[in-house]
Amino acid sequence: MNEYVVNFLWDNQAHVWIATSDDVPGLVLEHGSFDALLERVRMAVPELLALNAPGTGDIFIHYNTQRQERLAV
């Protein structure tokens, strides 16, 4: 089984989600919408793996999400 971890981090200054992975070489994507970024990641990961590690078989992706907000009280 080929498992890969993709990290999603919210950038408060740029107001975008950023997707990166230590397991998928070349994966760096950003988008203002989490759902749209998730779809882009689902398309990009198999393509990047085909370029960097052909013949990997089934792909399992674990998503880690981090978002921090400051709320005024």
pLDDT in tens, 7-49: 999 999 999 999 999 999 999 999 999 999 999 999 999 999 9
Mean pLDDT of 68-72: 84
* Confidence category of residue 1, pLDDT binned at 50, 70, 90: low
pLDDT at residue number 54: 75
Is the Cβ–Cβ distance between 59 and 4 less than 8 Å?
A: yes
Pick the closest to residue 64 from 2, 3, 9 (CA basis). Answer: 9
d(CA 70, CA 40): 28
- Beta-bridge partners for 64: 7
Confirm or reject CATH 3.30.2390.10 for domain 2-66, answering yes or no. yes
Mean pLDDT of 49-58: 83
Is the Cβ–Cβ distance between 14 and 71 less than 8 Å?
A: no
Selected residue with higher pLDDT from 38 and 73: 38
